[in-house]
Amino acid sequence: DTAVSQTPKYLVTQMGNDKSIKCEQNLGHDTMYWYKQDSKKFLKIMFSYNNKELIINETVPNRFSPKSPDKAHLNLHINSLELGDSAVYFCASSQVPSGGASDTQYFGPGTRLTVL
Amino acid sequence: GQNIDQPTEMTATEGAIVQINCTYQTSGFNGLFWYQQHAGEAPTFLSYNVLDGLEEKGRFSSFLSRSKGYSYLLLKELQMKDSASYLCAVRDKAGGGNKLTFGTGTQLKVEL
């Protein structure tokens, strides 16, 4: 009965490789997000999708490409991994994208990516 | 852009009360959230304020003053399990209305 789930939980890989992280939510939410939390614990938005449509795209290298096959899934593909990509990546979801009073974001457990 | 400031660390005693402050600057304020994050875990929602005043939820309360760009999270009857990072996040009207910008978090340590 997990609300927001991510796989894998841990990912260790070499520089230059391509990897994907998957996210699924069973809350019936319309909007999903990807965040990056760096070694200093700073949590920063990367992307947001509403019903498979990209609505937030922060200044992120184009090596990062989100894909939303349906509104319950938002995957993150990273090409040509670099050392600086090492971080914890959190997926989140919320009911609607308009910022209403009850539109709280719920986070997945995170994927700890280590690039060697 | 947005600036969100909160203290880096705080220490308090079990059973006591602690107040974690957050100041922010934003052009399109659309709500302020507090999240709790234990080490190695996901942030979990604690409270939400969009109007001025105090919101109370059990041992936790959150206050907002929009004119001062200021919020605080008040934790009462502290327990050891409250040791965690507390993240202040401001929602902006830009980016579809639900873009959250987080502060760097306040690491709270509860001691005996």
At A84 the three-state DSSP class reads: helix
B98 and A31 within 8 Å at the Cβ level: the answer is yes
Q: Which of B37, B42, B98 sits opposite A103 (nearest CB)?
A: B98
Using only the alpha carbons of chain B, give its radius of gyration: 14
Task: Compute the nearest-CA separation of A55 from chain B (Å).
Answer: 6
The answer to whether residue A1 scores a pLDDT higher than 70 is no
Q: Which of A4, A40, A48 sits opposite B104 (nearest CB)?
A: A40
Task: Compute the nearest-CA separation of B2 from chain A (Å).
Answer: 12
CA pair distance B86, B70, nearest whole angstrom: 15
**Average pLDDT score over residue span A65-76:** 93
Within 8 A of B33 by CB-CB distance, chain A residues are: 104-105
**Average pLDDT score over residue span A14-35:** 95
Task: Compute the nearest-CA separation of B3 from chain A (Å).
Answer: 13
Query: What is the pLDDT confidence band of residue B52, given thresholds at 50, 70 and 90?
Result: very high
Query: Are the beta carbons of B45 and A1 closer than 8 angstroms?
Result: no
Query: What is the pLDDT confidence band of residue B27, given thresholds at 50, 70 and 90?
Result: confident
B99 and A48 within 8 Å at the Cβ level: the answer is yes
Q: Report CA dihedral (A9, A75, A90, B40) to the nearest 10 degrees.
A: 0
The answer to whether residue B17 scores a pLDDT higher than 70 is yes
